[in-house]
Amino acid sequence: MSKINVLMFGWEFPPFKSGGLGTACYDLCKGLSKNNTNVTFVMPFAPEGATAKFVKLVGAHEKIKHLRLRTIKSPLTPYLTSKEYEHYYQHTQSKNKHLYGQNVFDEVARYTAAAAQIAKEETHDIIHCHDWMTYQAGIIARKTSKKPLVVHLHATEFDRTANNPDPRISHIEWLGLKEADTIITNSQFSKNNIIKHYNIPADKINVVHWGIDNEPLPQHPSIPLKEHKTVLFLGRITIQKGPDYFVEVAKRVLDYEPSARFIIAGDGDMLPRILHRTAELGIADKVVFTGMLKGADVHHAFQTANIYVMPSVSEPFGLVALESMKNGTPIIISKQSGASEVITHALKVDFWDVNEMTNKIVSVLRHTALREELTHNTLREIQKFNLEEPARKIKEVYQHPYRGKH
């Protein structure tokens, strides 16, 4: 079989990442490289933020064969809101500032223009882009090269905002989905959502569930908190991830298990509100806020916890659930997640059902047998996930990009 050359518009590479999308892109490239596929990976990159670590960035991608990295100077990140961009623009001291757009949509337009140039320079058989900020780049590349466009949807504006979309963004998403030759989502849950919100024909959408690599994890020799009853939230502190439900549950759990402790690991626009609510509930001394964790600290957090809770309001997949499982930490995940479609050994709840979440968390904290059984089965089940399987399915999509096209 001949090699497929992919022009991919993606996001962030470890260690520069703020969420699952960076990991997902990195993992996908890794999986594809083992599937005899060449990838030219185009990503926004603002060097002033990370000059010292640039070497590491190159190091991360150089580990992968058949991968070329091209960066476009831009401060875009996939979770950036329009407000956050304004804040960045006003406060940055960057000498490149005069190059950047004055708002996030200008900046996306600038990025799109740069992408068109790259599409002319790079030979490719297929275009693959991840989430809304890259969709216009994908569309223009498709016009330039006449190659099929794969639009990969990791989260919609509806997911990110708990159904209060910015119409400018949802319009771009709709445009991307409409122009795409084929679409990839990470779950049936997500597929149903885009059919509902964007009226896209079902047979244009491929479901490819996510995986996780099998490389061994760093183990932390001393886990000081494990002796406490520790409950972990790890993710962006935004409305999509349900941190507000988590603190309400924390209060209820403490009513029954006063010795429980809670860790909230992450950063995001809802952090002040969550901090405030914690104080209001009178549980501030039981909740630790770590800020955003990276690298080994993430694993450390999982290994510290007795249980990881993912109360997402709308979660197209929820890669972090797999990370918890890999660390041997039992999980409680919302039924409104793609992960809950493919994970058997998890406790599952509706995100709004704080009482049921409390019921389950308290049971896990009270009963060693339940914890041990969950841990045992979690570690067994995680072995069925890998990166090769999703990559293989995506390669199949590349080979038949027009299937289901009307």
Torsion of CA 342, 346, 349, 355, to 10 degrees: 180
Distance of alpha carbon 275 from alpha carbon 277, whole angstroms: 5
What are the contacts of 52-59 at 24+ separation with CB within 8 A? 53/15, 53/16, 56/15, 57/13, 57/15, 57/16
Between 52 and 369, name the residue whose CB sits nearer to another protein: 369
244, 297, 341, 381: which one binds another protein (CB under 8 A): 381
33, 81, 188, 377: which one binds another protein (CB under 8 A): 377
**Number of residues engaging another protein in binding (CB under 8 A):** 23
- The footprint of another protein on residues 236-265 (CB under 8 A) is 256
DSSP code for 358: H
188: contact with another protein by CB under 8 A: no
Q: How much of the chain is helix, strand and coil, in % rounded to 5? A: 50, 15, 35
Distance of alpha carbon 111 from alpha carbon 137, whole angstroms: 7
Closest approach of another protein to the CB of residue 220, in Å: 24
154: left (phi over 0), alpha (psi -120 to 50) or beta: alpha
Between 257 and 269, name the residue whose CB sits nearer to another protein: 257
Pick the stretch among 6-14, 32-40, 155-163, 366-374 that binds another protein (CB under 8 A): 366-374
Give the residue carrying structure tokens 């959408």.
205
325: contact with another protein by CB under 8 A: no
Between 265 and 307, name the residue whose CB sits nearer to another protein: 307
Closest approach of another protein to the CB of residue 99, in Å: 54
103: contact with another protein by CB under 8 A: no
Between 112 and 358, name the residue whose CB sits nearer to another protein: 358
Closest approach of another protein to the CB of residue 367, in Å: 6
Q: ∠ CA(343), CA(349), CA(353), 5° rounding?
A: 165
Between 196 and 367, name the residue whose CB sits nearer to another protein: 367
Closest approach of another protein to the CB of residue 31, in Å: 24
- Strands (DSSP E) along 46-87, which ranges? 67-73
Asked if residues 32 and 391 have their Cβ atoms less than 8 Å apart, the reply is: yes
Closest approach of another protein to the CB of residue 302, in Å: 19
Distance of alpha carbon 175 from alpha carbon 135, whole angstroms: 8
DSSP code for 315: B
Distance of alpha carbon 340 from alpha carbon 363, whole angstroms: 20
Closest approach of another protein to the CB of residue 235, in Å: 23
Between 71 and 386, name the residue whose CB sits nearer to another protein: 386
Nearest to 167 by CA among 131, 205, 197: 197
372: contact with another protein by CB under 8 A: yes
Backbone angles phi, psi at 59, to 5 degrees: -55, -45
Pick the stretch among 27-35, 284-292, 368-376, 397-405 that binds another protein (CB under 8 A): 368-376
- DSSP reduced 3-state for 19: coil
373: contact with another protein by CB under 8 A: yes
Between 184 and 254, name the residue whose CB sits nearer to another protein: 254
Closest approach of another protein to the CB of residue 357, in Å: 11
366, 400, 403, 405: which one binds another protein (CB under 8 A): 366
H or E stretch at 127: strand 126-130
- The footprint of another protein on residues 326-365 (CB under 8 A) is 344-345, 347-348, 355-356, 358-360, 362-363
Between 274 and 362, name the residue whose CB sits nearer to another protein: 362
User: First-to-last CA distance in the chain?
Assistant: 28
Between 179 and 353, name the residue whose CB sits nearer to another protein: 353
Closest approach of another protein to the CB of residue 368, in Å: 8
Pick the stretch among 67-75, 150-158, 270-278, 367-375 that binds another protein (CB under 8 A): 367-375
- Residue type present at position 395: K
Distance of alpha carbon 291 from alpha carbon 49, whole angstroms: 18
Closest approach of another protein to the CB of residue 339, in Å: 15
Distance of alpha carbon 264 from alpha carbon 287, whole angstroms: 7
Cα 308 to Cα 169, 253, 330, distances in angstroms: 32, 14, 6
367: contact with another protein by CB under 8 A: yes
Nearest to 307 by CA among 334, 322, 287, 328: 328
Interface residue list for another protein (CB under 8 A): 256, 344-345, 347-348, 355-356, 358-360, 362-363, 366-370, 372-374, 376-377, 381
